[in-house]
Amino acid sequence: MKVLLLGGTGEARELAAALNGAELDGLGRAGAGRAGVAGAGVQVVSSLAGRTSDARLPAGEVRVGGFGGVDGLVDWLREHPVDAVVDATHPFAASITANALAATHLVGVPLLVLRRPGWTPAPDDTWHWADSTSAAADLLPRLGTRAFLTIGRQGLDAFAKTGLWTLARCVDPPAPRPAWCELILARGPFTLADEQTILRDHRIDVLVTKDSGGPATAAKLTAARQHGIPVLVIRRPPLPVGPEVVETVGEAVQWVIRASHSPST
Ligand code: NAP
pLDDT of residue 237 exceeding 50, the answer is: yes
Domain limits, CATH 3.40.50.720, in the chain: 127-234
Euclidean distance between CA atoms 258 and 252, whole angstroms: 10
* pLDDT given at position 22: 35
The predicted pLDDT at position 206 comes to 98
- Cα–Cα distance measured from residue 110 to residue 86, given in angstroms and rounded to the nearest whole number: 9
Q: Is the pLDDT of residue 21 over 80?
A: no
What is the pLDDT at residue 29?
A: 44
CATH class of 127-234: alpha beta
Q: Which atom of ligand 1 is nearest to the CA of 210?
A: 40
Which of 48, 63, 73, 95 has most ligand 1 atoms within 8 Å of CB, for mutation?
A: 95
pLDDT digits (tens, 9 = 90+) for 137-188: 999 999 999 999 999 999 999 999 999 999 999 999 999 999 999 999 999 9
Q: Binning pLDDT at 50, 70 and 90, where does residue 26 land?
A: very low
What's the pLDDT at 243? Answer: 95
Of 132, 138, 151, give the one whose Cα is nearest residue 207: 151
Amino acid identity for residue 88 in this structure:
A
pLDDT confidence tier of residue 261, bands split at 50, 70 and 90: confident
Least confident of 24-28, 51-55, 182-186, 246-250: 24-28
Do residues 184 and 171 lie in contact, with contact meaning Cβ atoms separated by under 8 Å? no
Residue nearest to atom 46 of ligand 1 (CA): 69
Q: What is the per-residue pLDDT across 190-201, written as a single tens digit (0 to 9) for each? A: 999 999 999 999
- The residue contributing the CA closest to ligand 1 atom 26 is 93
Q: What does the pLDDT read at residue 20? A: 82
- Which is the closest atom of ligand 1 to the Cα of 97? 3
pLDDT one-digit tens code per residue, 54-87:
889 999 999 999 999 999 999 999 999 999 999 9
The residues, any chain, with a CB within 8 Å of residue 171's CB and separated by 6 or more, are: 52, 53, 152, 153, 185, 186, 187
Task: Name the residue of 57, 80, 96, 104 whose CB sits within 8 Å of the most ligand 1 atoms, as the mutation to test its pocket.
Answer: 96
- For ligand 1, atom 40, the nearest C-alpha belongs to 92
* Ligand 1, pocket residues at CB < 6 Å: 6-9, 47-49, 51, 66-69, 72-73, 89-90, 92-96, 99, 152, 210
Percent of the chain predicted with pLDDT > 90: 85
pTM (global) more than 0.75: yes
Amino acid 28: pLDDT:
39
d(CA 174, CA 260): 42
To the nearest 5 percent, what fractions of the chain are helix, strand and coil? 35, 20, 45
Determine the number of helices (DSSP H) and then strands (DSSP E) in the chain. 8, 12
Question: Of the given ranges (12-26, 123-137, 161-175), which has the lowest mean pLDDT?
Answer: 12-26
Between CA 20 and CA 165, with CA 53 as vertex, the angle to 5 degrees is 125
Q: Which residues, at least 6 apart from 116, have a Cβ–Cβ distance to it below 8 Å?
A: 9, 11, 91, 213, 214, 247, 248
Query: Which residues on adjacent β-strands are paired with residue 84?
Result: 3
Fold of 2-117+238-260: Rossmann fold (3.40.50)
